[in-house]
Amino acid sequence: MEAQAVHIPDNEQYRELKKFIEASRGVPGPLIQVLHRAQKIFGYLPLEVQHFVARELNVPLAKVFGVVTFYNFFRMDPVGDHIVNLCLGTACHVKGGSEIGKALEKELGIKVGGTTADRFYTLSTARCFGACGLAPVLMLDEEVHGRLNPQKAVQILRELRAQVQAAAVETNKEEK
């Protein structure tokens, strides 16, 4: 696939990324930092974005793809509105982390790595957050929840969904 052949839409997101790339010209080895920014802007790194990064940084697409697939942090699929990241480090494992994983898979009806049909939750796992004193832990978006058991973990997910739904109902009422 020729990088040039892909049509890149001219929109706010790409303009923002382009600005960041322009600012990092002259800095050696910017690829990873650029991808960090791109994922922040787009939420994930579809091939189209990778084409754009490759073209702008003048590196082969294969190199961009290689870096994206190497690191855990980068994603090539869109994710849900909220990301559940369950820790599977040894400290969490010894405190029953995998039981929580099973409970969450059952609750959400998806496997680890999947996203719910309504794109509300993405279930993901991580090695270690460095919050081992609170084991077992999960991170819901940016927030760490510790000392969990399966029931508690499921409860946390239900609560967030209920909150969001309640807020949506409120806005609907106001609009009416």
Residue 25 CB, shortest distance to another protein, in Å, is: 13
Site mask for another protein (CB under 8 A), range 95-124, x = bound: x--x--------------------------
Number of neighbouring beta carbons within 10 Å of residue 126 = 16
Q: For another protein, which residue of 16, 74, 99, 156 counts as binding (CB under 8 A)? A: 74
Confirm or reject binding of residue 78 to another protein (CB under 8 A). no
CB 64 within 8 A of CB 53: yes
* Cα–Cα distance for residue pair 42/89, rounded to 1 Å: 29
Residue 83 CB, shortest distance to another protein, in Å, is: 12
Confirm or reject binding of residue 136 to another protein (CB under 8 A). no
* Cα–Cα distance for residue pair 131/109, rounded to 1 Å: 27
Q: For another protein, which residue of 32, 61, 112, 154 counts as binding (CB under 8 A)? A: 32
Q: Considering only the stretches 5-13, 23-31, 114-122, 162-170, report the one whose residues sit in contact with another protein under the rule CB under 8 A.
A: 23-31
Axis-axis angle for helices 12-23, 47-57 (nearest 10): 30
- The string of DSSP codes covering 40-69 is HHHSS--HHHHHHHHHHHT--HHHHHHHHH
Beta-bridge partner residues of 86: 125, 138
Binding site for another protein (CB under 8 A): 28-33, 35-36, 63, 66-67, 70-74, 88-91, 93-95, 98, 126-135, 142, 144-146
